[in-house]
Structure 1
Amino acid sequence: MRSLEVNVNGTQNVLVAARDAGVRRVVFASSSSVYGNTPTLPKHEGMPTAPMSPYAVHKLTGELLCSVFTSIYGLETVALRYFNVFGPRQDPKSEYAAVIPRFLTALLNHEQPIVFGDGEQTRDFTFVANVVQANLKAATAPDAVGQAMNIGCGERISLNEVLQIAGELLETSPDIDYRDPRPGDVRDSLADISKAQRLLGYDPQIKFAEGLSQTLDALRVGIV
C-alpha cells in the first residue's frame, strides 16, 4: 500500500504540480522490472511488459500516467527504465539497498555475503554516473518526449561474478551464504540501449569493474 501511495499517487501529484506550474518537462525514474521474467534477452522497449511485483506494476503505471499527461496536457515527459543502478552513497543497511553495497560491506567486514538462489542470475549493473548522463540528456533531448527507454550498459554479469571481481579487488576469496530464491525475483536482465543511444545520444562511459572499484573506495572511506 505504501509503495502504491508513493509510486503511483506520488507520481500523479508531481505531474499535476508540473502541469499547473507550467514546467516544461518531467523525467520519470522507471525500472527494468516492468519487463518481468521474460526469457527474451536483451530486453527492448517493443516487448510486452509483464511486471511480477507490486513495485513493478506501480512503475509501469507511472509510465502510463506520464504518457497520458503528455497527450492530454502537452506536458513533456520522458520515462527512463533503469537497470540495476549502483554506486557510492547507496546505504547498504537500507531495506531497499542494491545487492552490490551489501556484498561489498559484508566482504569489508569479513562477513559472508548472502546470495538468494544459485548466484548465476544475471543483471545489467549500471554505474550511477551513466544514469546521471542519461538524466541530463533526457531533460533536453527533443526526440525523447513521450517515450520510455532503457538505461543500462548493454552487458550482463552474474552475482557470482560480482563477488569474484569484488574478491579480487579486496584480495580475498568470498565465502558465500547461498539461500533459497526469493519469489518475484527476475532470473536474467540485459538492456537493449539502442533507443536511448538514438534518441538521447546516451553513451555509458563507466564499465562495471571500474564502477565497482569506485563504489568500494567510497565504502572504505565511509561515504554512504
Structure 2
Amino acid sequence: MKSVLRSPGIQAPRHGAVPNTTTRTRQNMHIAIIGGSGLIGSETARQLVAAGHTVTLLSRRPAADLPDLPWKACEIADAAVRDTLASIRPAAVIHLAALLQFSCDQQPAEAIRINVDGTVNVLEACRAAGIRRVVFGSSMAVYGRRTDRMSETDPIPDDVGLYGQTKRLCEILGARYRALYGMEFVALRYAGVIGPQELHSAGMAMVRQQIRSTASGKDVTIDDASGRETVHLTHVSDAAAATVAAALHPGPAHTVYNVAGPIDNYMTLVDYHAAVRALVPHAGAVHWAGSARGAGPLDLTRLQTDLGVSPAVTVPEALRRDLRTLGWL
C-alpha cells in the first residue's frame, strides 16, 4: 500500500481571500517555490513567511523584493532541480515556472521543453526525494475559447491553444503520478492575475500591465487586444492565498481548482482601463490594435467549499493597492 503524506494545514494570511478558519495549523513547514521570483510566487512566499513557514525559492533569477529568502538558481528542465530538491527536501513544492501564452505560440518547441518536460522533471524530482505534495500553477486557458461559466468538471474542448494544452497535459501527468506513486498533486487554474510586480514575458498579463501603466499619464498602443476581450481578474494576493491553502491543506479532495477573484471582477479590458481612469482621471488613453481570446467567468464553488478560500479583492481595490505601490496614486 502506498503511503501518502497528509500535511497539516494552516490559516492563510488575510490579504484579501478569506481562508478556512477550521483548518488545523502547524508552524514552520518548509515549502519550495519553483518560479518563486514571479508575480504569484513572490506573493505566495510572503504569505507563507508571514504565517511562520520556511521558504526556499528556485528560479532563474532571484526575487529582488525578497532578498532575505534562500534562493537556488535553476532552469526548470535541468538536473539542478532534482539535485536541489534532494538536498533541501521540503514538505511540499509549489511549481509556478512556465513559458507564457504568446511565447508558447511563437516558440512551440520551447513550450514543450519548459512547460511539459520541465514539469515532468519536477514530478520526477519530487518522487525521487519523497516529496508528496506538489501544487502546480495551471491556467484558465485549458478551457479554450468558452465565454460561459466554467467549472472544473466541464469537459475540455478541442479549441484549446498551445499554452492551454501544455497546462492540461501537465494536469494529466500530475494525476497519473498521483495514481502511480501516491503523490498529492493539486493544479490551480488561475484566471487573469494582476499585481504590482513588473512582468517581462509576453502574454495577456503583459497586456493588463500595459493598460494599468496608463495611470502614469502616458498613452499606450496594445497590439495584442481589441479591448472587447473578457476576463475574470484576480488580484495576486487572492491567487497567493489559494496557493498557500493548496500547499498546506490537510487533504485536498480534488486535483484541480479554479482560482479567480470575486464575480464583479469579470469584465472587458475596456472596463479594466475605465477602472484605472476612475482612480486616476489623468490616465493616458489606450489605442487597441489587435485581438485576443476572451473567456468566461470561473466557478469558484470547489475552491470555497473544499479549500475554504473565498477571494475578496475587487478590481478597484486591487488597482488602488497596486497603483499606490507603484507611486501612481
TM-score scaled by length of structure 2: 0.61
User: For structure 2, which runs of at least 5 residues remain unmatched after alignment?
Assistant: 1-108
Q: Structure 2 CA distance, aligned partners of 1:145 and 1:186?
A: 31
User: For structure 1, which runs of at least 5 residues remain unmatched after alignment?
Assistant: none
C-alpha deviation, 1:73, in angstroms: 0.4
User: Which deviates more from structure 2 when the two are superposed, residues 200-209 or residues 59-68?
Assistant: 200-209
Q: 1:78 aligns with which of 161, 167, 186?
A: 186
Q: Structure 1 CA distance, aligned partners of 2:152 and 2:201?
A: 30
Does residue 64 (structure 1) correspond to residue 172 (structure 2)? The answer is: yes
Aligned to 1:31: 139
Letter in 1 for 2:302: K
The answer to whether the 8 A contact 2:218-2:285 is kept is no
Q: Structure 1 CA distance, aligned partners of 2:167 and 2:180?
A: 20
The alignment partner of 2:186 has SS state of strand
Aligned to 2:115: 7
Q: Which has the higher contact order (CA 8 A, sep 6+)?
A: 1
Letter in 2 for 1:131: A
Aligned to 1:168: 278
The answer to whether the 8 A contact 2:229-2:295 is kept is yes
Letter in 1 for 2:257: M
Query: Over aligned residue pairs, what C-alpha RMSD do you find?
Result: 1.9
Does residue 140 (structure 1) correspond to residue 248 (structure 2)? The answer is: yes
Q: Structure 2 CA distance, aligned partners of 1:42 and 1:115?
A: 27
Q: Structure 2 CA distance, aligned partners of 1:217 and 1:145?
A: 38
The alignment partner of 2:242 has SS state of helix
Q: 2:311 aligns with which of 204, 208, 220?
A: 204
The answer to whether the 8 A contact 1:78-1:146 is kept is yes
1:83-131 per-residue CA deviation (whole Å, 9 max, x = no partner) reads 011101132x543443222112244151234264542221111000001
Q: Structure 2 CA distance, aligned partners of 1:134 and 1:31?
A: 14
Q: Structure 2 CA distance, aligned partners of 1:159 and 1:115?
A: 13
- Taking a change above 3 Å as real, the CA distance of residues 145 and 139 of structure 1, as seen in their structure-2 partners, is farther
Q: Percent identity?
A: 29
- Taking a change above 3 Å as real, the CA distance of residues 205 and 189 of structure 1, as seen in their structure-2 partners, is same
- Structure 1 ranges of 4+ moved more than 3 A: 115-118
Letter in 2 for 1:175: A
Does residue 187 (structure 1) correspond to residue 297 (structure 2)? The answer is: no
The answer to whether the 8 A contact 1:113-1:174 is kept is no
User: Which deviates more from structure 2 when the two are superposed, residues 171-180 or residues 25-34?
Assistant: 171-180
The answer to whether the 8 A contact 1:115-1:176 is kept is no
Q: Structure 2 CA distance, aligned partners of 1:148 and 1:20?
A: 23
Q: Structure 2 CA distance, aligned partners of 1:110 and 1:118?
A: 19
TM-score scaled by length of structure 1: 0.88
The answer to whether the 8 A contact 2:140-2:190 is kept is yes
The alignment partner of 1:150 has SS state of strand
The answer to whether the 8 A contact 1:105-1:219 is kept is no
Aligned to 2:206: 98
Q: How many residues are aligned here?
A: 216
Does residue 220 (structure 1) correspond to residue 327 (structure 2)? The answer is: yes
Aligned to 1:45: 152
C-alpha deviation, 1:145, in angstroms: 5.1
Does residue 119 (structure 1) correspond to residue 227 (structure 2)? The answer is: yes
More helix by share: 1
